[in-house]
Amino acid sequence: MRVSATLPMGVVFLALLGCATEKAPVTIPVTTTTTRNAPAWIDNEEIPDGLAALGIAQANPMGDKGLQRTVALADARTKMAGKMKVRVQSMFSRLDQVMTTATADATKKPIKSDVMNRVMENVTRQLVNQELAGTNTRATWTDPADGSLYLFLVMTKDSMDRALAGAAQAQIKKEIAQGEQSLNTALDKLDAAIAASGK
């Protein structure tokens, strides 16, 4: 009888001991712009009048601010190029949709997929190779805690649409010259596709 009475007491004691040694939950520090006194664009880089990208560069051991800015700018441009690629794909997807809807025979695509893909790839490459003409640094901020530099790169909607339209028209005209006559109608519908891809 005595053994059975001490067994439940031992279990209760161990349970209490386990609760007492349980570690408090680890709290992760909050790194929002409010707590760091950072500008709001660090948490939300979206802008209503175009495309924006955030470049980040850690402080370097030499304390070279010029190099740090170059690294942050390169990071922002890489991210901007990715966003531009998505925009180009969206624009050509809309253009293809409009062209397919406009054709009399809905089962036959007016523009071959390989032609559309080639035009799309060339437009993207041309925009990126021009180092995203029309981009500018809207703001920078250095984190006082660790010295990281944040760079806010922006391309306005007007600049973006002009660059996109110019590159797309040049590539479509090149394909027309090489015999892809069905792209002729695409030139007329290009402006609407560019406008729709930004929404």
> What is the per-residue pLDDT for 193?
81
90 located within any domain:
yes
The first and second tokens of residue 137, run together, are: 């640094």
158 located within any domain:
yes
7 located within any domain:
no
E strand spans, 14-157: 50-57, 135-142, 149-156
54 located within any domain:
yes
30 located within any domain:
no
13 located within any domain:
no
67 located within any domain:
yes
28 located within any domain:
no
Q: What is the pLDDT of residues 143-166, one digit of tens each?
A: 998 899 999 999 988 888 888 888
Length of the chain: 199
| Domain hosting residue 135, numbered range | 43-197
Total tally of structural domains belonging to the chain: 1
At residue 36, does pLDDT exceed 90? Answer: no
Q: What is the pLDDT of residues 85-131, one digit of tens each?
A: 888 888 888 877 777 766 655 555 666 777 778 888 888 888 777 65
At residue 181, does pLDDT exceed 80? Answer: no
Exposure string for 56-95, b = 16+ CB within 10 A, e = fewer: ebeeeeeeeeeebbebbbebbbebbbebbbebbebbbebb
> What is the per-residue pLDDT for 125?
81
Beginning with the edge strand found earlier in the chain, give each strand of the sheet holding 149-156 in spatial order: 50-57, 149-156, 135-142
Q: What is the chain's Cα-based Rg?
A: 28
Confidence label for 84 from pLDDT (cuts 50, 70 and 90): confident
Ranked by mean pLDDT, which of 32-46, 89-103, 182-196 comes out on top? 32-46
Q: What is the pLDDT of residues 11-29, one digit of tens each?
A: 444 444 454 444 444 434 4
The answer to pTM > 0.75 is no
At residue 34, does pLDDT exceed 70? Answer: no
Q: Which CATH number covers residue 175? A: 3.10.129
Q: Which of 47-56, 154-163, 182-191 has the lowest mean pLDDT?
A: 182-191
Query: What's the mean pLDDT in 39-61?
Result: 91
